[in-house]
């Protein structure tokens, strides 16, 4: 959903008489990080009409009656309190100090009242936890920083958390991922309110791209939530990470946990916020990336050492998650960082037998100018994807796509057209972008 809205809701909610659409209230709490807090202040609080950006009126409001301390021990003074939220057409919660602490009840009441009166409510990064605590995300799609997405999904099971998106626009309630994704969402709000020209002019002033493609999945980290450490599934997860070079499926992990597949899927998702199949595929891609950086193994061998049944399967998943072929990634990495020491090299005869034809970078991709830095930023895991689809659920071809190293369409099977063998399913593991609802107008 990190794109513009494309659909219009069935019924548009109107602002109450005392609220003004051009007024933006920013709700600050003590302990909030200064970067996230400054984003809506900079976007909506500075007059840039000379650059073609329509002016908003900003109200900075204290969400609690305590000193507002922020990063580095700085102390802020907000000129308004919660009462000022009654005039705002948009209320932004840029961050919340701790995902383990409940927000102040008075602030939650003010947010609920603002929403009931037609205000647009925005949560940046951990601000989504405040919106969820107020009940404003119940039954809705939402996102937050990928690191906190599993906790948000576990604590508020009625929220449809998708940590792959940079931001989610659900009409009158919007949420974003961490840090810079808050800028993406604020630009999206300006674009929704005043058009692409105004958003583009603002982006140029901020020296940021007017739109960023893709989502958070490129930044996901390999670590799992701390809560899993004391759970019996932790041993199964550790085993999986140590045996990525072997070919096994989710049923294998379920058997090791002495659970049925259905129970294992449910338990794994509740602990990590991710379907086990997607998590394992992401771990295999991450392992492949490391081998491409540190060894001379061909792409064929890398695929085998990461549990993929074929290089075709590796290439499909690698490109989906990192936006590059394995060969192009290796070429860019080595061009930027020449090897200064020995690497894990196969024997000469072994290399001669295979011909190393998969090690050569695609000449078209090598000339594309895709920077190493962009590809390095995509090299994370696990995809803590929390979607509405069944875990390891039905594939587009029917049945369940349960094997980790072999996605449907990657290598034969009953009923498969031989001409289609080796072709990855285009959308099975791609970031999901369901239709969005337009912000209510009028």
Mean pLDDT is highest, among 265-274, 350-359, 407-416, for 265-274
Q: How high is the pLDDT of residue 290?
A: 86
Of residues 17 and 422, more confidently modeled:
17
Q: Is the pLDDT of residue 13 over 90?
A: no
**Contact predicate 146/273, CB 8 Å:** no
Q: Which long-range contacts (CB under 8 A, 24 or more apart) does 201-209 make?
A: 201/48, 201/51, 201/52, 201/53, 202/43, 202/48, 202/51, 202/53, 204/51, 205/48, 205/51, 205/53, 206/42, 206/43, 208/180, 208/183
Q: How far is CA 181 from the centre of its chain?
A: 10
Task: Read off the pTM.
Answer: 0.55
Q: How high is the pLDDT of residue 225?
A: 52
Q: Which of 140-149, 250-259, 336-345, 392-401 has the lowest mean pLDDT?
A: 392-401
Of residues 397 and 108, more confidently modeled:
108
Q: Where are the beta strands (DSSP E) in 151-252?
A: 160-161, 167-169, 173-176
Q: Which DSSP letter does residue 394 get?
A: B
- Confidence bin at 344 (pLDDT 50/70/90): very low
Determine the average pLDDT of the residues in 285-310.
Answer: 91
- Confidence bin at 218 (pLDDT 50/70/90): low
**131-147 pLDDT tens trace:** 999 999 999 999 998 88
Determine the average pLDDT of the residues in 155-173.
Answer: 89
Q: How far is CA 380 from the centre of its chain?
A: 11
Q: How high is the pLDDT of residue 213?
A: 66
HEC per residue, 21-62: EEEEEEEECCCCCHHHHHHHHHHHHCCCHHHCCCCCEEEEEE
Of residues 214 and 441, more confidently modeled:
214
Mean pLDDT score across all residues of the chain: 75
CA–CA distance, 59 with 81 (Å, rounded to integer): 9
Q: Is the pLDDT of residue 388 over 70?
A: no
Of all residues in the chain, the percent with pLDDT exceeding 70 is 68
Q: How high is the pLDDT of residue 165?
A: 84
Q: Is the pLDDT of residue 406 over 70?
A: no
Q: How high is the pLDDT of residue 14?
A: 81
Q: How high is the pLDDT of residue 228?
A: 52
Q: How high is the pLDDT of residue 200?
A: 92
Of residues 419 and 21, more confidently modeled:
21
Determine the average pLDDT of the residues in 279-298.
Answer: 88
């Amino acid at each position: 959903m990190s794109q513009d809205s494309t659909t219009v809701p069935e019924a548009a909610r109107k602002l109450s008489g005392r609220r003004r659409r051009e007024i933006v209230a920013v709700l600050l709490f003590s302990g909030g990080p200064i970067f996230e807090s400054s984003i809506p202040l900079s976007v909506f609080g500075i007059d840039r009409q000379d650059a073609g950006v329509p002016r908003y009126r900003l109200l900075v409001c204290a969400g609690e009656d305590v000193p507002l301390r922020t990063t580095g021990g700085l102390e802020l003074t907000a000129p308004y309190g919660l009462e000022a939220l009654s005039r705002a057409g948009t209320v932004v919660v840029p961050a919340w100090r701790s995902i383990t602490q409940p927000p102040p009840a008075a602030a939650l009441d003010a947010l609920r009242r603002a929403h009931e009166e037609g205000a647009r409510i925005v949560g940046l990064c951990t601000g989504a936890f405040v919106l969820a605590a107020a009940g404003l995300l119940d039954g809705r799609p939402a996102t937050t920083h990928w690191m906190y997405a599993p906790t948000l999904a576990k604590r508020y099971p009625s929220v449809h958390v998708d940590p792959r998106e940079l931001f989610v626009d659900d009409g009158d309630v919007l949420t974003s991922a961490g840090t810079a994704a808050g800028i993406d969402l604020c630009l999206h709000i300006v674009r929704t309110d005043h058009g692409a020209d105004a958003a583009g002019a603002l982006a140029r002033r901020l020296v940021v791209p007017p739109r960023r493609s893709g989502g958070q999945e490129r930044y996901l980290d390999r670590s799992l939530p701390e809560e899993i450490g004391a759970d019996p599934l932790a041993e199964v997860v550790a085993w999986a990470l140590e045996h990525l070079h072997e070919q096994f499926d989710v049923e294998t992990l379920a058997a090791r946990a002495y659970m049925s597949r259905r129970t294992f899927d449910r338990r794994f998702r509740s602990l990590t916020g991710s379907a086990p199949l997607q998590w394992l595929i992401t771990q295999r891609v991450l392992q492949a990336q490391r081998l491409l950086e540190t060894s001379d193994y061909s792409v064929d061998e890398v695929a085998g050492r990461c549990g993929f049944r074929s290089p075709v399967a590796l290439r499909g998943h690698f490109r989906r998650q990192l936006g590059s072929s394995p060969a192009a990634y290796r070429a860019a990495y080595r061009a930027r960082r020449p090897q200064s020491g020995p690497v894990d090299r196969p024997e000469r005869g072994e290399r001669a037998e295979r011909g190393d034809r998969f090690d050569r970078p695609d000449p078209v991709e090598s000339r594309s100018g895709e920077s190493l830095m962009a590809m390095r930023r995509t090299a994370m895991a696990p995809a803590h994807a929390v979607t509405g689809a069944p875990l390891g659920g039905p594939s587009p071809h029917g049945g369940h796509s349960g094997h980790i190293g072999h996605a449907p369409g990657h290598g034969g099977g009953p009923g498969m057209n031989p001409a289609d063998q080796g072709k990855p399913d285009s959308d099975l593991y791609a970031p999901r972008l369901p239709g969005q609802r337009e912000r209510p107008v009028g």
